[in-house]
Amino acid sequence: MAVASSVVPLRPASPAHGLPDWIRTRPPSGPVYAEVRGLLDRLALGTVCREARCPNLSECWSAGAATLMLLGTDCTRRCAFCAVTTHWPNGAVDRTEPERVAEAVASWGLRYVVLTQVCRDDLADGGAAILSETVRRLRERSPTTLVELLIGDLAGSDGALATLLEEPPDVLAHNLETVRSLSPAVRDRRAGYDRSLKVLARARELGRPGLVTKSSIMLGLGEEDAELTTAFADLRRSGVDLLTLGQYLRPSATHAPVRRYVPPEEFERWKTTAGHLGFAGVEAGPLVRSSYHAEELFRRARAAQGA
């Protein structure tokens, strides 16, 4: 079932042309923001909030939340939508990172934490062992904290995924990013629409009972309504519980252009469509990103599981 789109004139992403009224953020401020930034700087930890220029940085950091980026801040892939720096680290890994992440989470006293990673194609396991160790150390320091892990595709390796799931998070997330037709142009050539679906399906098969899976799609890259509905259905067939939908915002003039700014009311319609397809929880809106309202979505999934 396709949902009719509200037509919004195409606009370049150049700031000279401005942004729609519904895309507005405020500069970060306040004592909690300063505390979060100070702790991250002291422990030399990267965040997807800063590296990917998330529009919700102010809201989340001011509330004492941040999405920590593991395995450094340089990615081995170059996706056309992403602001994270591309670099080949030649197998270099900071073995102190898992403990520093655990220290940060313990210092915050968080109920829920989201950890993500850069892609590390220079590592045989894609960094799975470090991710697993980080979850283990975090649980030792903060045993009541719920953990969401947003991973890359680990080069499609079942072995790497099994390693990662030795210390299973509460939520295993991997982003589909866009519809099938746009995936080759928007994502790095080593990524793939079908590979992402396989990673999500295999996580469901290899993970412990009760593991919640999650994915995210960007709108405004030129996707058609029917393609988006198909992507939702593909994710549900892969056993995905939770979905987030947000507006793609161009990080720079060298990145993929914005084809359309999707209005808030259309995001609401897509949220309804996804809910009808069986997702336990959906967040949708122009500024929604993968980890937005993550704990609330997790609670919805657990409720759907009867837990």
Q: Where are the domains of the chain?
A: 27-304
- Residue 225's pLDDT is what? 97
- pLDDT: which is higher, 160 or 26: 160
Q: Which residue has the higher pLDDT, 220 or 59?
A: 220
Greatest extent of the chain over all pairs of C-alpha atoms, in Å: 52
Q: Which two tokens stand for residue 190?
A: 């080593």
Who wins on pLDDT, 6 or 276? Answer: 276
Q: What is the pLDDT of residue 107?
A: 83
Question: Model confidence at 53, in pLDDT bands (50, 70, 90)?
Answer: low
CATH number 3.20.20.70 is the correct assignment for the domain at 27-304: yes
Q: Residue 246: pLDDT band by 50, 70, 90 thresholds?
A: very high
Is the per-residue pLDDT at 277 higher than 80?
yes
Both tokens assigned to 124: 């045989």
Instruction: Give dist(CA 215, CA 70) in Å, integer.
Output: 18
So what's the pLDDT on residue 202? Answer: 97
- Strand stretches in 58-155, DSSP E: 67-70, 112-117, 146-150
Residue 42 is predicted with a pLDDT of: 64
Beta-strand ranges (E) seen in the chain are 46-47, 67-70, 112-117, 146-150, 171-173, 212-219, 242-247, 281-284
DSSP 75: B
- pLDDT tier at 289 (50, 70, 90 boundaries)? confident
pLDDT digits (tens, 9 = 90+) for 61-73: 445 456 788 998 8
The pair of three-digit structure tokens given for residue 199, joined into one six-digit string: 């990673």
* Residue 38 clears pLDDT 70, i.e. is over it: no
Structure tokens at 120: 């590390």
Classify the C-alpha dihedral 244-247-248-249 as positive or negative.
negative
**pLDDT value at residue 1:** 29
pLDDT at 110: 78
Q: Grade residue 8 by pLDDT with cuts at 50, 70 and 90.
A: very low
297: confidence class by pLDDT, cuts 50, 70, 90: very high
Residue pair 194/187 in contact (Cβ under 8 Å)? The answer is no
Report whether pLDDT(12) > 50: no
pLDDT at 274: 97
23 compared with 253, residue with greater pLDDT: 253
Mean pLDDT, rounded, of the chain = 85
Say whether pLDDT at 51 is over 50.
Answer: no
Of 13-22, 264-273, 293-302, give the range with the top mean pLDDT.
Answer: 264-273
